Structure 1
Amino acid sequence: MENLSRQNGLVVSSSGTSPTVAELDCPAGQYVISGGYAITSVVGQVPEILSSLPIDADTWQVVANGTIDSYDLQAIALCAILPGQV
């Protein structure tokens, strides 16, 4: 794989009891190889992660449960140009 890079999505703050969703799109022409998340600024309990997965070829999505506590959520992904795609 060429041009493997770690990408950090925007930080999304929790909003009440609704699920919090953070997404990250790889740069144009690159595909998601793997991904994960960061949880920061936690006040109260650490949220439960409901999903952390690719939702298409170049987007990673993380969904955390809604609680009355506050936290920030960020999607993180490894993106790359795949062989034969250069």
Structure 2
Amino acid sequence: MAGKLHFSLVSPERELFSGEVDQVDAPGAEGDFGVLAGHAPFMTTLKSGRVKVYDGGRIVAFDVEGGFADVTPEGLTVLAEKAVEAAV
């Protein structure tokens, strides 16, 4: 499905990322998952791991420690207990 996904990554300290992207991969507590534009809504807890954000040829990564992911018709929001930008 063509189109962009709105993605927002927020930690208790600040918003680390907000923008329109192609895909986001995240470490769900019940297994890793990927989200594209038009994904079915769901909510899950996150385990510690890496969130990868894909936009064209650019990849941005964040290491997260727990939190929640919420996929809605408006996009994906990750509320992380702790998150830092990581080298890809």
TM-score, with structure 2 as normaliser:
0.32
**Which structure has the larger Rg?**
1
Larger RCO of the pair (alpha carbons < 8 Å, separation 6+): 1
